[in-house]
Amino acid sequence: MGILPINCKVFMNKVTTSAPGKLLLFGDHAVVYGHPCIVTSIDQRIQVTVEKQKERKLTLSAPDLGLVEYTKHIDELGQKNIPKAVSFIETLYSLFLQRCPQEGGIVIETKSAFSSSFGFGSSSAVTVAFAQALSELYGCQLSKLEVFQLCYQAVITVQGVGSGFDIASAIWGKTIYYVTPAKVVEPIVLPELPLIVGYSGIKADTATIVRAVAELRMKKPEFVAEIFSEIENITNRARTALLAADWQTVGSLMNENQVCLEKLDVSSKKLNDLIVAARNAGAYGAKLSGAGGGDCMIALGEKKEQIDSAIGKAGGESMNVRAHADGVRVDFKE
Ligand code: PMV
């Protein structure tokens, strides 16, 4: 996928943007291999403020990540030991400057409404918010697709794997049907989405689980191909059911998707406990969201209080999250 040329003009002095976290509704793992997924943005956001500075350096403060005035000379971006928390920002800035060289440097401050442990996609949200902020600061007027290309390249450089569904969600927002790498980004128009979210209390390592699925795929290619095509089928049926706001069907498709994920061996006892508890409390359906192993499960249902309480009793933490939120936006500029 080629990167489009970027023409930048000096524009603003200070810009604040924000981008949402996400939850994967359907298509987890299969999306890495070219199958579709459905992802929704959540109303928990990461805010990024950027300001120009004369000196050719990057200065980053991310209090939520315990970083205070981390500084790097522009000529050394991407070199030396980069703390994990900084790697997405530093890589993105370096890629941005290759395409749109600037004279001075930049001061960045990030503020997150959610912990990076939840699996809400803090890395993609911060990367997207930062890319949008740079576009505004330097008057680049990047299109959504250009922001995607820049961010996806940064994520692949840092992580090596990933479908980019989380980046697309942070950019386009709401609920989208997605095929990697933004080959298809189709909004699913919904009146609302009665989603309930339970945190397992365990931080999952997405890259490790994605690699485990890749290994399983090497060992048992036909078995995994069959599961992926079943997931694709479920995802396509879910798109139709979502568009019809047919929650009962969406819920039972979530249950079917969970069966596939269990066959891939990416769920966990804790996630299964929370999923079963949510279903028993009246949810239309429930599944893990994302790579699995930990992070969050999601349930669809209207009996929020009962389901939240059942998740709590099963040892999870119900999260106060609203789905179908807006994508990246400019909050402030001067
Ligand atoms: O664990 P999360 O929330 O980052 O989701 C990972 C989803 C996968 O499909 C497993 C990987 C990907 O990049 O699509």
Question: Which pLDDT tens digit goes with each residue over 249-279?
Answer: 999 999 999 999 999 999 999 999 999 999 9
Predicted TM-score (pTM) of the model is 0.95
pLDDT tens-digit series, residues 118-144: 889 999 999 999 999 999 999 988 999
In this structure, the residue with its CA closest to atom 13 of ligand 1 is: 162
209 Cα nearest atom in ligand 1: 10
Answer for the pair 289, 274: CB distance below 8 angstroms, yes or no. Answer: no
Q: Which residues line ligand 1 (CB under 6 A)?
A: 24, 28-29, 31-32, 119, 121, 162-163, 165-166, 204, 206, 210, 290-291, 295
DSSP 172-232: HBSEEEEETTTTEEEE---S---EEEEE-S----HHHHHHHHHHHHHH-HHHHHHHHHHHH
pLDDT tens-digit series, residues 46-76: 999 999 999 999 999 999 888 889 999 999 9
In this structure, the residue with its CA closest to atom 8 of ligand 1 is: 29
Comparing C-alpha atoms, which of 22, 16, 108 is closest to residue 62?
A: 108
pLDDT tens-digit series, residues 83-115: 877 999 999 999 999 988 899 999 999 999 988
Q: Rounded mean pLDDT of the chain?
A: 94
